[in-house]
Structure formats: C-alpha cells, structure tokens
Chains A and B, each alone.
Chain A
Amino acid sequence: MDQLSAQFLTFTYRRISSMNKELINLIDISKSFDGEMVLDELHLNIHENEFLTLLGPSGCGKTTTLRILGGFVTPDKGRVVFGGQDITNMPPNKRQLNTVFQKYALFTHMNIAENIAFGLKIKNKSKNYIDDKIKYALKLVNLDGYEKRMPDSLSGGQQQRIAIARAIVNEPKVLLLDEPLGALDLKLRQDMQYELIRLKNELGITFIYVTHDQEEALTMSDTIVVMNQGYIQQIGTPETIYNEPENAFVADFIGDSNIIASMMLEDKLVSILGAKFACVDTGFGHNKPVDVVIRPEDVELTKQPEDGTIQGTVTHLIFKGVHYEMEVTANGFEWLVHSTGMFPVGTPVGIKVDPFNIQIMNKPASEDEEAVGVEE
C-alpha cells in the first residue's frame, strides 16, 4: 500500500472518530426568569463536527440554551462542560465559541473589513495575518471586494454573510447561530441553507443552530433536538424525527400529520377509530391506549370503498401543485391526505395504510410533555 492512501485512510479514520467525540456536555441545566421555568434539568451532549439544531416553538427554551452556551446567560443549576473543562461561569469573551446573532449585530460605524477584523485585533494578530483572514473569509461567504463597504449599504442576506465571516475568522470550535435566516425572504433563506451546509463542511467545525422552522431543521441538520416548554422532546436524525416521532408534540410540530387516539389490541395490531389496522410495533401490551401518527402522504385512498380498511367521504379538495390536499371524513375523524390522485368532494372512498407507515406512540406520561396550545 502506498503512502498516500495510507494517509488518506488515517485521515478518514480520524474524521469518523472525531465525529463521535463529545465536545460539549450540558448537564442538568435549569434556568428560570422571574420565577418562570424556562429550562428544566436539560441534558444534552454535542459532538465534534456536528450540525445540531435546537428546534421548537417560541418560548420553548432553545434560545436560552444557546445563550447559556455563548455565556450570556448563567444557568441557575447545572454545568456546561466544553472539551472536558467546566465553563459554566466563564464570561463570553473567554469562550472558544462564536455567535451569529439573529439581527446580524454588525458594528454600523465600522466598515466590513473592520467588522471582520474586530476579534483578530483584540487577539493582537499581525496586520498581514488579519488582511489574509479578511480576504479568506469574504471569499468563503462569496463577498470578495466588499472590504470598504459600510454595513448599512448591504442587503439583509449580505449582512448575515458578513456576520458569519466575522465569527469564523476567529477559528472557533463551535459556531452558534440564533435564527440567522429569520429575517430573510423565502428564496434567499433556501439559498443560505445550502451555503451554511457548504460552510460547515469546509470549516469542519460544530454548528449549533436555533430555529422554529422545521423545514430548515430537516434540510441542514445532522441531529435535531426538538424542544417544548423547557424540555427536550426528542433527539435524533432528521429522518428519525420525521418518520418516528416519539410523541404527539413532535409529530404535530414536524410536518403535517394525522394524530389519532387509538387502542393497541396486541403486538402488530392496532384499533384506529374502531377499525383494525396491521402495524409493525410490538411491546405495547394488550388493549393499551396509544396515539397513532400517520403522515398525510402515507394515507392511500381507494376507488372502491370496500377495498379500504375503513370507509369515508371526501369533504375538502385543494390543488397544491405537486399533489392534491384532501380531507376525508371517516368514522368521525377528518383525515388529512396528500395524494397525486384526485377524488372530487363527495366521493365515497376507502382508506388504506401500509403497516410500516403507522407510528405508534405512548400517551404523554405527564402534563409537562403534553402538546397543548402549540402553534407553528
């Protein structure tokens, strides 16, 4: 084996192993503001090289978690460990993390080059070093030649790129991003999502991203942490979160879904709205009340009503471009259905679901976990 491929193998090995190494541990973090609990014993491990997204509705504690990581908020209880070192009480200016703020927070009286150089000048880097870094960072965010411009003269998207450039020149191990695309329009937001993925791969550092936008989370993340009311609801890859939501809150928050209170009759058999559906889950016991999640695209409609497991009538029909969105009333429940086939309002249809597409969830154990009053 020649030397080059040996080096390549070591390199690959290191990448894979570093991916698994824990970088940050949030240990039993609690925080309340004015007597209101915002985080309750939050426990989270963040790995090197990970794109981790904290996802949840406003007030779920995701921004507070990020601010605790940045050092702008001190937790009431618990510890923040960074690379084995306790940094719970370390001030923000001493931490090896940099933040990209929601409203860019550029220094308006400085030009772009001075903005980017800010952190490096504090570290007393040489002028050559700083100039090189500015060039490199501007190239990385596709804004070469903008050194002498003032922040006011840039568009929102450009300002956001400068904010990212200003953070990454300091070579942080972790970049914290607080809803950085929140103020941008849809098209720009989608472009920036690809930009961020590219940046993360080129820099090879950890990104911790806060958003309430489930699409953003699904597109970019390695790991999604779904939060609600100060608790983590589920941690997993985008695929796991979408296909196997652990509770009704996650199912409801990530995408459209039909959540139906049902009864687990025995292993691999569930009674939904009085009809028996085959499923693949086991171990829930006999005659156990559960919640069932079925994604609208997984509901199959049949022309002959008797071909379906249960029968219903189409009550709503909207053309959505790629698919039709329909509502089918069957056994008193309004099923949301996405389908490329069209059934006019009033048509009697049958409903079928593939056993693999029926996701069974335990009923919420406590009130805290219950998904109440959630609005996207």
Chain B
Amino acid sequence: MIRTTAKKIYIALIFIFLYAPIATLMVLSFNASRTRAKWGGFTTKWYFSLFENREIMQALWNTLLIAFVSSFIAVIIGTIACIAINDMSKRNRTIIMGVTNIPMLNADIVTGISLMLLFISLGLKFGLGTILLAHITFNIPYVILCVMPRMKQISPSTYEAALDLGASPVRAFFKVVFPDILPGVLSGFLMAFTMSLDDFIITHFTKGAGVDTLSTKIYTEVKKGIKPEMYALSTIIFVTVLLLLFLVNKAPKEKA
C-alpha cells in the first residue's frame, strides 16, 4: 500500500517538474494582465493580437512552408536511400546506417555553424533557400530511421514476384513495395515535419537577415522584452508539436 502510494507520488513529481514550466506558460498566455506577477483575469486577446501581427504571421507561413517542403523532399531522398541501403551487403549497410545516424546525435550548433560555413564558401545567398537546404539535410536521417525498419520487414520476393508477372522495376516499386513501406514513409514525413517545425539553432545560423521562422522570431522578440503574445505563440507551437508527435506514434500501429 505504502509502496504503491510512494510510486504514485514519485511519478506525479516527475510530471510536475517536466510540465510545470509549460503549464505556467500556457496559463500566462490567457492572463489579461501584462505583467507576469499578477493574474488579471482570463482573456484570449493575446491570441487575437498575435494573429493580427503581420511579421509573426509571415514567420508562421515561412515555418510551415519550410517544414512541409523540407520534409517532402527529405522523404523522397530518404526513401530512395533506403532502397539502396537495403540492397547493400551487410557490412556496407552497417557502415552507412552508422554514418546516417551521426547527424542526429551531432550537436545542433555544430551542424548549424558548419552548414553556415559551407553556404558561405559556396557563395549562396542566405534566405529561405538556405534554411530549406539545411532542413532537408538534417531531416533525411530521421526519414531513413523511420523507413528502414519497414523496408527490412518486407520480403524481397514480393518485388521479384511483381517483376516476374511482367511489371517494370518502377511499376513494381510503386504497386508492390511502396504500399508496404507507406506507414514508415508517413511517420518519417511527420517526424521530419516536427523536427523542422521546432528547430531553432540550425535555422538561426542559416537564415538571412529579415527572414524569420517562428522560433527565430520569438527569439528576436524576447530580446526586446517579453510580450504576452509570445506566450500565446509558444503555446500554439507546443500544442502543434504535441499533436504531430501523437500522429507519428499512432501512424505505424494502425497498419500493424
């Protein structure tokens, strides 16, 4: 009895420490008072003023555009990579999988700075394009991480069976292999979308002046002094990412 109560308290404490800061943020986003110190009543006005702020809306649009396009391109490149990796000998496969895992473990700041240096040396103009390139780069490993297990599961003979029945290699892939790996591809897309959405550091180093995503916009605003709109914006981002993560975890299970 005491042991189960102690367990429950322990778990409750963990969740309080984990989520108290976010809960505070969410509560403050509905606070009518401008200061953090006192509760001025419930309001949703910060949300409205947020949506009226043209710069923030531009940043939101940039964020969604980059997240969508970068994950879409990363899914294509990542899936094609998986086909090739799956065909490799065991030794080469282990090496390549190791190499693709490194960027995920690498510190974001290192990735960010190295991409920035690369773009400078290539003479690229910093802006949406460079952010996009950076996001595609760091998204590919996540796609491979999601697609590869599905790829290994499917038997190579279904692809061969399709060829045997007269399908061209491309047709065999889209008719037979792709439907089987689709759950992995979808969760790879959602994963990449989430990663792109909440990235700050890499975007910070690869964006040009005047181009902002939500995270860099919040950072700039916070430097000038925290406005309650930022609480509202952070709340929206948190909820969106939460929903996407929920979808990512849900997607593969439905098929299985």
A interface with B by C-beta (< 8 Å):
70-72, 91-94, 97-99, 101-103, 105-109, 118-119, 122-123, 166-167, 170
Contact partners of B161 in chain A: CB under 8 A: 99, 101, 105-107, 166
Spot the interface stretch: B162-170, B185-193, B209-217: B162-170
Are A122 and B155 in touch, CB under 8 angstroms? Answer: no
Contact status A93-B163, CB under 8 Å:
yes
CB neighbours of A123 from chain B (8 A): 166
**Are A122 and B164 touching (Cβ within 8 A)?**
no
Contact A166 B165 (CB under 8 A): yes
* Inter-subunit contact A108/B180 (CB<8 Å): yes
**Considering the chains assembled together, what is the distance between the CA atoms of A70 and B175 in angstroms?**
20
> Shortest beta-carbon distance, A56 to chain B, in Å?
21
Which residues of the partner chain B approach A119 to less than 8 Å between Cβ atoms?
165-166
Which residues of chain B come closer than 8 Å to A91, judged between CB atoms?
A: 163, 169
Q: Please classify the interface of chain B as helix (H, G, I), strand (E, B), loop, or mixed, using the class held by over half of its residues.
A: helix
Q: How far does the Cβ of A58 sit from chain B's closest Cβ, in whole Å?
A: 17
Asked if residues B176 and A101 are in contact (CB atoms below 8 Å), the reply is: no
Chain B residues within 8 Å of chain A by Cβ, number: 19
Q: Are B180 and A105 in contact (CB under 8 A)?
A: no
B160 contacts A by Cβ under 8 Å: yes
Q: Closest residue of chain B to A176, judged by CB?
A: B164
Given contacts A92-B160, A92-B164, A166-B161, 11 further A-B contacts (CB under 8 A): A72-B163, A92-B163, A99-B161, A101-B157, A101-B160, A106-B161, A107-B176, A108-B180, A118-B165, A122-B165, A122-B171
Q: Contact between A109 and B165 (Cβ–Cβ < 8 Å)?
A: no
Top 3 A-B pairs, shortest CB-CB distance: A119-B165, A105-B157, A105-B161
The residues in B between 69 and 118 inclusive whose CB is less than 8 angstroms from any CB of A are none
Distance of A119 Cα from B163 Cα, bound (Å): 9
Contact of B166 among A93, A101, A107 (CB under 8 A): A93
Question: Closest CB-CB distance, B168 to chain A, in whole Å?
Answer: 6
Q: How far is the CA of A166 from the CA of B166 in the complex (A)?
A: 12
Q: Nearest residue in B to A163 (C-beta to C-beta)?
A: B161
Contact of A99 with B160 at beta-carbon distance under 8 Å, contacts A107-B176, A119-B165, A170-B165 already known: yes
The answer to whether the Cβ of B179 comes within 8 Å of any Cβ in the partner chain is yes
| Chain B residues packing against A (C-beta within 8 Å) | 155, 157-158, 160-169, 171-172, 175-176, 179-180
Measured between beta carbons, the chain B residues less than 8 angstroms from A93 are 163-169, 172
Neighbouring A residues of B171 by C-beta, 8 Å: 122
A99 touches B180 (CB 8 A): no
Interface centre among B155, B161, B164, B180 (most CB of A within 10 A): B164
List of B residues within 8 angstroms of A106 by Cβ: 158, 161
B157 touches A122 (CB 8 A): no
- The residue on A at minimum CB distance from B165 is A119
B223 to chain A minimum Cβ distance, whole angstroms, is 52
Docked pose: A177 CA to B187 CA in angstroms: 37
Most chain B CB neighbours (cut-off 10 Å) among A72, A105, A166? A105
**Least CB distance, A274 to chain B, in whole angstroms:** 54
Whether the pair B166, A109 counts as a contact (CB closer than 8 A) is no
Residue of B with least CB distance to A70: B164
Nearest Cβ in chain B — how far from A104, in angstroms?
8
A123 to B168, CA, bound (A): 11
Quick one: given A70-B164, A92-B164, A98-B164, are A103 and B157 in contact (CB under 8 Å)?
yes
* Cβ–Cβ < 8 Å partners of B167 in chain A: 93, 118, 122
Bound state CA distance, A273 and B175, in angstroms?
65
Name the B residues within 8 Å of A71 (CB-CB): 163
A107 and B158 form a contact (CB under 8 A): yes
Residues of chain B lying within 8 A (CB to CB) of residue A167: 164-165
Q: List the B side residues contacting A98 at CB < 8 Å.
A: 164-165
Note all chain A residues with C-beta closer than 8 A to B166. Answer: 93-94, 119, 122-123, 170
Chain A residue nearest in CB terms to B89? A34
Q: In the complex the two chains form, what is the Cα distance from A91 to B163 in whole Å?
A: 8
CA of A104 to CA of B180, assembled, Å: 16
CB distance from B255 to the nearest CB of A (A): 9
Measured in the bound complex, the distance between the Cα atoms of B169 and A93 in whole Å is 8
A218 to B172, CA, bound (A): 36
- Contacts A/B (CB < 8 Å), 13 sampled: A92-B164, A93-B169, A93-B172, A98-B164, A99-B160, A99-B161, A101-B160, A107-B176, A107-B179, A108-B158, A122-B166, A122-B171, A166-B165
Q: In this complex, what residue of A is CB-closest to B178?
A: A109
Residues of B within 8 A of A102 (CB): 157
* Docked complex Cα distance between A109 and B162 (Å): 13
Q: Roughly how many angstroms separate A201 CA and B248 CA in the complex, as a whole number?
A: 53
Q: What B residues does A92 contact at CB under 8 A?
A: 160, 163-164
